[in-house]
Amino acid sequence: AFAVLQCLQQQSLEMDVYLASAAINACRQGSAWHQALQVLLGMADSHVERDTVTFNAVVSSCEKGWEWVHALHLFHELA
């Protein structure tokens, strides 16, 4: 899913919340917390609404990677 997002960006196609969520969940399952954060930041850059589900998935990804500082930062950003 992350590769699909990269391909979309290379083709100058727009990201949407469904593609971004799929990519974030793929990153979470693969313990790729850094890529999950990149997708979340890319959502903001592309003006795609970031919701509780996407934030929670990225927080979970950070937790799996023992990146508690990033997880707490996202938690505070959401609150």
Q: Output the pTM of the full model.
A: 0.75
**Residue range 14-31, pLDDT digits in tens:** 778 888 888 888 888 888
Taking the chain, what is the end-to-end CA distance rounded to the nearest angstrom?
A: 28
- Give CA–CA dist 7/13, Å, rounded: 9
Counting every residue, how long is the chain?
79
**Residue range 43-70, pLDDT digits in tens:** 888 888 888 888 888 888 888 888 778 7
User: 49 versus 6: which is more confidently predicted?
Assistant: 49
